[in-house]
Structure 1
Amino acid sequence: MRDNNSTNPTPRDTAAEKATDKGRRAEQAAAVFLARQGLRVIARNYHCRGGEIDLICRDGNTLVFVEVRQRQSRRFGGAAASITPAKQRRILLAARHYLASEKRPDAMCRIDCVLIDGENIDWVRNAFDAATD
């Protein structure tokens, strides 16, 4: 007999947890990769209404907002194809919010992407800017 008050996860819960775990592992791999390139991670998963930034780093005097995208392969465009114009607007919104909340509206900054396709990691500096919105 099945207990209706069971705490066993449903297939949907399990899939969501697996996706979240994959995302965390991808962000950790990106943080390690960027640290090896000389960047210093200063914040993770910065949220504001309407947007989120996976990693915020320092590259010398420059603040770097990093979007991490992961796909199993490049078969359907890969990780890069998943950064839509709408996603770019949400990243820009979150970056502007961070700069305003830190009272650094004129800070030197850029937006990078770390793209993970299978085992390949690509780092795209200055992936897009405010001119895209």
Structure 2
Amino acid sequence: MKFLGRWLAADKPTPAAVGNNTTRQQGALAEDRALAHLQAAGLRLLTRNYRTPGRGGGEIDLVMCERDGTTVFVEVRSRASQAFGGAGASIGAAKQQRIVLAARHYLMRLASPPPCRFDVVLVEEAQVQWLKAAFDAQ
């Protein structure tokens, strides 16, 4: 019986693990909402959660294509409320640099890089806000 008690205790997720899964799930739901919003506007999904290899690289939530062939690198940010500046305030210079790094890595794979831009989709409470050309590659 003692062994069974230890096994059951070890099998339970820790509070931190439960919190991470919930946050990850909320992020995935926000990405789903952003993707649906962009597709409704006529954009086509090229890839989702594009990551550069290795540590310290970047990640792009959604890589989309406009009807005119422009590649759109999309960062999706979600917050439950607008406190502390809301979702948009969480995209600082360091985050932008990691997104640009990942975009350059993505574009290196292509024979002829298309025109591109960096958009942000904010998912806050019940609203989806699409910010076209939210920042530039530096």
Larger radius of gyration between Structure 1 and Structure 2: 2
Q: Which residue of structure 2 lines up, in the alignment, with residue 3 of structure 1?
A: 6
- Provide the rounded CA distance (Å) in 2 between the counterparts of 1:17 and 1:75: 22
* Equivalent of residue 118 in structure 1, options 125, 128, 131: 125
Alignment of 1:1-133 (within 5 A): 2-3=5-6, 6-49=10-53, 50-60=57-67, 61-104=69-112, 106-130=113-137, 133=138
- The amino acid that maps onto 1:3 is R
Q: Secondary structure at the match of 2:13?
A: coil
- Provide the rounded CA distance (Å) in 2 between the counterparts of 1:103 and 1:115: 32
- Provide the rounded CA distance (Å) in 2 between the counterparts of 1:23 and 1:14: 14
- Provide the rounded CA distance (Å) in 2 between the counterparts of 1:118 and 1:90: 26
State the identity as a percent: 45
Q: Secondary structure at the match of 1:126?
A: strand
TM-score (norm 1): 0.92
**Equivalent pairs, count:** 130
What does the per-residue CA deviation read over 1:4-29, in whole Å, with 9 as the maximum and x for residues that have no partner? 57221000000000011011111011
- 1:85: how far off? 0.4
What does the per-residue CA deviation read over 1:79-107, in whole Å, with 9 as the maximum and x for residues that have no partner? 10000100000000000000002334x31
TM-score (norm 2): 0.89
Deviating runs (4+, > 4 A) in structure 1? none
Instruction: List gaps (5 residues or longer) in structure 1.
Output: none
What does the per-residue CA deviation read over 1:28-70, in whole Å, with 9 as the maximum and x for residues that have no partner? 1100010111111110000004100000001021000000000
- Provide the rounded CA distance (Å) in 2 between the counterparts of 1:62 and 1:107: 6
- Provide the rounded CA distance (Å) in 2 between the counterparts of 1:118 and 1:111: 23
- Provide the rounded CA distance (Å) in 2 between the counterparts of 1:20 and 1:113: 19
- Provide the rounded CA distance (Å) in 1 between the counterparts of 2:11 and 2:39: 39
Q: Secondary structure at the match of 2:27?
A: helix
